[in-house]
Amino acid sequence: MIGLILLVIAFVIAAGYITKINIGFYAIAATYVIACFVMDLSPGDLMKMWPVKIFFVILSVSLFYNVALANGALEKLAGHLLYQCRNFPNILPLVIFAAATIIAGLGAGFYTVLAFMAPLTLLLCQKTKMNLVVGSMAVNYGALAGANFMTSQSGIIFRGLLENAGIPKETAFNYASSIFVVTFLVPIAVLGTYSLWSHRSSAVHIHAEKPEPFDLKQKQSIYLIILLMTIVLLFPILHLLLPQNEWIASINQKMDIGFLAIVFTLISMVMKLADEKKVIALVPWNTLVMICGMGMLIGIGVKAGVIEAFSGWVSGNVAFWLIPVVLCCISAVMSVFSSTLGVVAPTLFPIIPAIAVHSGLEPALLFTAVVVGAQATAISPFSSGGSLILGSAPEGINKNTLFNSLLFRAIPIGMAAALIAVVLAQSVM
C-alpha cells in the first residue's frame, strides 16, 4: 500500500506537469479511487480529509489582500520603492529584492508579485545592462521571502501545514518565523555579494518615471493592511515576552488571521475600497485546488503509514548530521518540477516531527531545510516561478537564452546558497 501511494504521488506530479492541468484535480481523483476502492474508506471519511482550515485561511486572507491589488495600491507601492533608488544601480538587485519582499510581505503573495514585478525587473535589466540571472533571482527571492512572512500567503500556509502535522499553534508560529528569517537572509547574502562584486563596473543611471501619488482608497488599503499585520503579530510577540500573563494568553488563543481577514475584508467593502467582483475573481483558486487536493492525497498516505515508513528510513539510513542536507536536496529536486506550497511542503512537512524524534534534531531546522531547498530551485523554468519569469520576458530578450540561464546558472547558484545556509543554520539551531 505504501509503495502504491508513493507511485500515485509521483504520477500525480508528473501528470500535472506533462498535461499542464492543475495537479489538485489529479490528486483528488486519485485519492477517491485509492481511499474508497483500495483502502475501503467511505466517501464521508474521505471528505473529512479535505483541509478545511487551510482552505478557509487562504481564501479569507486572499480576499482581504485582493482589495489592495484590485485598487492598484500594492503595484503603485512597488513603483515608488523602485523609483526612490533609481540613482543607485549597483544595489539594484537588492532594491528589487526589497521591493518584492515588502509587497509580498504585505500579502500580495508569491505569484502575484512575480506577475507584476517580473516584467518590470526584466525591463530594468535591459535598460541598465544588469545580469538577467541576477535580476530574475532578485525578484524571485523577494517574492518568496516576503510571501514567507508569518502573516502573508506562504507563511500562513506553512503555519497551517505545521499545525496539521501536530505542531501546537504557538510553536508553529515560531517555526514559521525561523523559515522567514532564513529565507530572508540567504538572498541578501547572495545578492549582496553580487552587488559588491559589480561595484567595480561603471554605474548606469536608471531612467524611471516618478509614479503617481497614492489616491485616498489606496492609502486606506495600505493602512488597513498595516493594522491587520500589527494585530496579528502583536499578541504572539507579547505572549512570548510575557508568557505568564493570562489575559494576553487568552487573547492570543482567540486571534485567528482567517476570521480577522474576513472582518477587515468587510470593512474594506463597506468603505468601497475596491470592486467586490474583482476582489473575488483575484482569489488564487488554482493554488487552493492544488494545495487542498494534495492535502487529501497526503492524508491517505498518512493513514496508510507512509510517514512512519519514510521517517524510519531516513533516520535509520542517513547520518543524523546529514539529515537536514538530505531533506534540503530532496525538496530542491521536487521543486524543480513542482510547487513548494502545493507539493513539496504538504508532502514533506508531515514526516518532519517523526524524523526529529528519531534523530534528536531541532524540528525548526528540518522544516527550514525543506523550505530553503525547495525555494532554491523555485526559479526553474519547469516550475511556476521560473515559468512566470520566462513568460514575462519582453521583446529583445532571447527566451531560449533566459531558459538556459535559469536552468543552468540560477538553480546551481541557489542550490549552493541553500546548502551553505542549511549547514550554518544547523550550527546555530
- Amino acid making up residue 238: L
Q: Output the pLDDT for position 307.
A: 62
Q: Which of 333, 327, 332, 329 is nearest to 349 (CA)?
A: 327
Note the pLDDT tens digit of each residue in 370-412: 999 999 998 887 776 777 787 767 667 787 788 888 888 999 9
Q: Rg of the chain's alpha carbons, rounded to an integer?
A: 21
DSSP per-residue string spanning 346-399: HHHGGGHHHHHHHH---HHHHHHHHHHHHHHSTT-TTSHHHHHHHHT--TTS-H
Q: Output the pLDDT for position 204.
A: 45
Note the pLDDT tens digit of each residue in 92-125: 888 889 888 988 887 767 877 776 677 777 777 7
Length of the chain in terms of residues written: 429
Q: What is the pTM of this model?
A: 0.71
Which set of grid coordinates corresponds to residue 402? 533566459
Strand (E) or helix (H) holding 57: helix 52-70
Do residues 336 and 380 touch, judged by C-beta distance below 8 A?
A: yes
Do residues 300 and 35 touch, judged by C-beta distance below 8 A?
A: yes
Q: Output the pLDDT for position 422.
A: 93
Do residues 66 and 279 touch, judged by C-beta distance below 8 A?
A: yes
Q: Where are the domains of the chain?
A: 51-283
d(CA 99, CA 122) in angstroms, rounded, equals: 15
d(CA 205, CA 201) in angstroms, rounded, equals: 13
Phi, psi of 202 (to 5 degrees): -70, 140
Do residues 383 and 403 touch, judged by C-beta distance below 8 A?
A: no
DSSP state of 152: S
Q: Output the pLDDT for position 182.
A: 94
Cell 540613482 belongs to residue: 87
Do residues 218 and 202 touch, judged by C-beta distance below 8 A?
A: no
Cell 535580476 belongs to residue: 135
Cell 504520477 belongs to residue: 11
Phi, psi of 211 (to 5 degrees): -65, 155
Residue pLDDT tens, the chain, 429 long? 777 887 888 888 788 878 888 888 998 999 999 989 988 889 988 888 888 877 887 788 778 888 988 898 877 876 776 677 666 767 888 888 988 898 888 776 787 777 667 777 777 777 677 788 888 999 999 999 999 998 888 898 899 889 888 898 889 989 999 999 999 999 999 988 887 776 555 444 555 677 789 999 999 998 998 898 788 778 877 877 787 888 988 887 888 878 988 999 999 999 999 999 999 988 878 778 877 888 788 778 877 777 667 666 766 777 888 889 999 998 898 888 677 887 788 888 988 888 888 888 899 999 999 999 999 998 887 776 777 787 767 667 787 788 888 888 999 999 999 999 999 988 887
Strand (E) or helix (H) holding 120: helix 110-128
Cell 502573508 belongs to residue: 152
CB atoms within 10 A of CB 19: 11
